[in-house]
Structure 1
Amino acid sequence: MNSVVMVDQERKSMTGRKKVAVITPGSFVIPSGRSSSVERVIEKVAPLAADELNIRIFGVADRQLPNIGMVGSVPCYRLPGGRRYLQSVLQHLRKWHPDTVDVHNRPRLASQIKGKLPFTRVLLTLHSTTFISATYRPSSETFHWLNSVDGIIVNSQYLSTELRLRFPQLQVPIQVNPLGVSLEDFLPRWTPLGESLRQARLADFGWENRKVVLYVGRLLPTKGVHHILNAWPAIQEQVPDAMLIVVGSAFYSAQRETGYVRKLKKLAEPYQDRIVFLPYIEYPKVADWYNLADVVVVPSGEEEAFGLVNVEAMAAAIPVVAANTGGIPEIIDDGRSGFLLPSEGLSYRLAERVTYLLGDEDLRRRMGCAGRELARIRFRWQHTAKRWGDLIRGTDGI
């Protein structure tokens, strides 16, 4: 890392800003388009809060990046992973003495750090239900981890409610901080430039005059990708020029196929020229695919805590047709920026609403523009960073 930058960071640390250590889960390197959404959240939020907080990010090392680097203006320390991760993190924390430690998406790691540093304020930022599920750990063990930290930050009211329902004896304060999007990374669909680039790219692929339905995300049963595949025969019958683009894989950056992925491709076989599977695409390159879309579908299961794809579609001015589950209703304004559908009969309802939107360009435009405006006023990373900074400084309920 540039020594001038390091000196500047240390100088700023003497001005009274609170010191906060942001601990990534230790699964993926940061920054990297190959990482999960957890690392992307940290990558977007921390630099925006760096003027008022003295922040250091701690993550896992790999062979492609130096052990010390920068994420925007924030120093990032990449440490040995696996079983060594906790001790490596603790070694740094004991030397630096942060005022607050914010551990992302790993309740056990947060509890372990609190146990070793009992006089340090330790927060847990929880991104999903994955690590509070009984299928991951016994509820009693998870409850102990959660109840040992000083506060929990979640990305939706749904996730806050789930925590209280699953662990009614939990005494730890919980605060909601919705996630955001970088508007500048997404070219709005309904602009002269956006439309001209879209038409040129469609022509390059040989997809002129196609109406594009887009799915972006992991190919997992909980993401409900099979629902749009099951709906496709009805959509194709009603809109012969429609095509479906599925962007993603079962694993972050790895293209290994699971039985579920093979099942999806089997469902798509009769429509080989109208259903395209694309591999995992790094962020922000995936924004180019939103620009091609007429409709984005998010058929996720009931435990979708937030879903960045929703705000990304809105930033690209594309209407969203989504399952009315989890935290999604907190993002999509039903009837204004998209449509929310009950889980019952989801495949049928997807076919109905997607077909309806594909047949009405004016409605797609109105909904897309409304979604872009909603993202601008409510779901920008600047909003997330401001709320996070207030929580870290202890001025907003934790």
Structure 2
Amino acid sequence: MIQLKLAFICTEKLPSPAIRGGAIQIMLDGIIPYFQNHQVTIFSITDPKLSNQETDGFIQYIRFPRENYEMDVANALKNQSFDLIHVFNRPNTVHLYKAASPTSKFVLSLHNDMFSELKMTKEESLRALKHVDAITTVSQYIKRTVTYRYPQYSHKIYVLYSGVDLTKFTSIHEKQGQVLQRTLRQRHKLSGKQVVLFIGRLNKTKGPHLLIKALEELIPKYPHICLVIVGGKWFSENTVDDYVHSLYTLAENHRDHIYFTNYIPSDEIPLYMTMADLFVCSSQWHEPLARVHYEAMAAGLPIITTDRGGNAEVIAHKHNGYVISDYDNPQAFSQAIDYLLSNRNKAKQFGLAGRKIVEEHFQFHHVAERLENIYVTSLNS
């Protein structure tokens, strides 16, 4: 493939690289090494820990303050010539960037239901759909949110599942993983515990309150169970709002069985995965498809998830995990956790199956290859 000048435009939420987490930033960090044959410019917001501009090999980072981010990016595009511009999760800015770089091809990635009538008018949506040459979605579910409203543009939409860097994850079924698991549990005073892991933002849509309530039925049967809750109110923020306070209050009766870590940097997540016996995603909203599923599979963990949104597209019930349809019922989670803790061979089979799925389909080199094919199609359209 010929060398291309590519621009990636992150949202105004978080900086790139993923020093403060974020699914978009983590995916970018993972796939960019496979674009070394191209010239890559990444636009993101500024951060006190990062310079406003820097070059790292074939990658140029340009960062602007959040306050005027979109206009600053648009002005920067006028001064450079890009073959293809990839906009992440902000369809309502595409027309602005297209006006700044009219000869460039455009790819839009959707990580949420961004074409919802609550976010964009029909006129704004049609404008964005007209300007883009391709759209990638993180799941079939997110693709359907667009094709249901605008079926005439279905030919532009590709499902692009995310992935992981397997070199950062140690399977709990390998000797090295088992040694690491014991070491980590000793460090966190969890030796001899049955560790149930939750990772996510602490808000009601993620459902950690249901897991705390589920413990009430599990503790009598599993007196050494411990629910490890990893995450803060918002990515790198550990503010205690009303909901977080309610979690702490709810946990008071089970303080020996619940461990809050607060926000953990994304590069430490693999360690917490290795420390666990099983992973639970208790999403209550229509989750686009949480990337923690890929990470838990990479660690060889059996997974419990809800059938909300796109989660069940990568977790097959009783193959590499356990899918809950009664998603707002604490008892459904206690039954699923009990099933995995009392069926260790099944749990191991689920974990091994998940690891194999990641090895074969969801590594970052798979994602990069699929994305590059979409670029080729867009350039030839």
Report TM bin, short chain.
Answer: over 0.9
Q: Which amino acid aligns with 1:32?
A: A
CA distance in 1, matches of 2:276, 2:349: 15
2:243 aligned with 1:257, yes or no?
Answer: no
Superimposed CA distance per residue, residues 157-208 of structure 1 (whole angstroms, 9 cap, x where no aligned partner): 1110111224456577111111001111111111222112211222233322
Contact 1:43 1:71 in 2 (8 A): no
Q: How many angstroms does 1:81 deviate by?
A: 3.0
Cα distance change on mapping 1:167 and 1:222 into 2, 3 Å: farther
Contact 1:305 1:327 in 2 (8 A): yes
Cα distance change on mapping 1:354 and 1:184 into 2, 3 Å: same
Q: Which amino acid aligns with 2:306?
A: A
CA distance in 2, matches of 1:136, 1:244: 36
Secondary structure of the structure 2 residue equivalent to 1:246: strand
Partner residue, 1:50: 36
Q: How many angstroms does 1:227 deviate by?
A: 2.1
2:100 aligned with 1:116, yes or no?
Answer: yes
Q: How many angstroms does 1:347 deviate by?
A: 2.0
2:65 aligned with 1:80, yes or no?
Answer: yes
Query: What aligned pairs does 1:60-209 form with structure 2 within 5 A after superposition?
Result: 60-70=45-55, 73-83=58-68, 85-129=69-113, 131-168=114-151, 170=153, 173-209=156-192
Select between 343-352 and 384-393 the one with higher mean Cα deviation. Answer: 343-352
CA distance in 1, matches of 2:56, 2:209: 37
Superimposed CA distance per residue, residues 23-46 of structure 1 (whole angstroms, 9 cap, x where no aligned partner): 111322211331311111112112
The alignment-based identity, stated in percent, is: 27
CA distance in 2, matches of 1:225, 1:163: 29
Superimposed CA distance per residue, residues 247-303 of structure 1 (whole angstroms, 9 cap, x where no aligned partner): 001211011122221222222110011111111111111211111111100111342
Superimposed CA distance per residue, residues 131-170 of structure 1 (whole angstroms, 9 cap, x where no aligned partner): 3334434455444434433321111111101112244565
Cα distance change on mapping 1:308 and 1:360 into 2, 3 Å: same
CA distance in 2, matches of 1:325, 1:120: 36
Contact 1:143 1:170 in 2 (8 A): no
Secondary structure of the structure 1 residue equivalent to 2:371: helix
Partner residue, 2:323: 340
Superimposed CA distance per residue, residues 87-144 of structure 1 (whole angstroms, 9 cap, x where no aligned partner): 3222332222111111101111223212333332222111112x33344344554444
Structure 1 stretches lacking a partner, 5+ long: 1-14
Query: What aligned pairs does 1:370-381 form with structure 2 within 5 A after superposition?
Result: 370-381=353-364
Q: How many angstroms does 1:16 deviate by?
A: 4.1
Partner residue, 1:358: 341
Q: How many angstroms does 1:71 deviate by?
A: 5.7
Contact 1:49 1:386 in 2 (8 A): no
Secondary structure of the structure 1 residue equivalent to 2:267: coil
CA distance in 1, matches of 2:30, 2:202: 25
Give the length in aligned residue pairs.
Answer: 381
Q: How many angstroms does 1:68 deviate by?
A: 2.3
Secondary structure of the structure 2 residue equivalent to 1:276: strand
2:283 aligned with 1:293, yes or no?
Answer: no
Query: Given the two structures, how large is their TM-score scaled by the length of structure 2?
Result: 0.93
Contact 2:147 2:154 in 1 (8 A): no
Query: Given the two structures, how large is their TM-score scaled by the length of structure 1?
Result: 0.89
Secondary structure of the structure 2 residue equivalent to 1:310: helix
Select between 57-66 and 314-323 the one with higher mean Cα deviation. Answer: 57-66
Contact 1:212 1:244 in 2 (8 A): yes
Query: What aligned pairs does 1:3-42 form with structure 2 within 5 A after superposition?
Result: 16-42=2-28
CA distance in 2, matches of 1:217, 1:198: 21
Structure 2 stretches lacking a partner, 5+ long: none
Cα distance change on mapping 1:202 and 1:334 into 2, 3 Å: same
Contact 1:111 1:146 in 2 (8 A): no
Q: Which amino acid aligns with 1:292?
A: M
Partner residue, 1:312: 295
Cα distance change on mapping 1:211 and 1:64 into 2, 3 Å: same
Cα distance change on mapping 1:71 and 1:160 into 2, 3 Å: farther
Select between 134-143 and 200-209 the one with higher mean Cα deviation. Answer: 134-143
Contact 2:105 2:378 in 1 (8 A): no
Secondary structure of the structure 1 residue equivalent to 2:148: helix
CA distance in 1, matches of 2:210, 2:6: 42
Partner residue, 1:215: 198
CA distance in 2, matches of 1:378, 1:16: 26
Contact 1:47 1:73 in 2 (8 A): no
Q: Which amino acid aligns with 2:20?
A: R
CA distance in 1, matches of 2:12, 2:203: 22
CA distance in 2, matches of 1:40, 1:21: 17
Q: Which amino acid aligns with 1:102?
A: H
Cα distance change on mapping 1:396 and 1:99 into 2, 3 Å: closer
Cα distance change on mapping 1:111 and 1:35 into 2, 3 Å: farther
The Cα RMSD (Å) is: 2.2
Contact 1:218 1:251 in 2 (8 A): yes
CA distance in 2, matches of 1:171, 1:296: 35
CA distance in 2, matches of 1:183, 1:322: 21
Select between 336-345 and 271-280 the one with higher mean Cα deviation. Answer: 336-345
Select between 86-95 and 139-148 the one with higher mean Cα deviation. Answer: 139-148
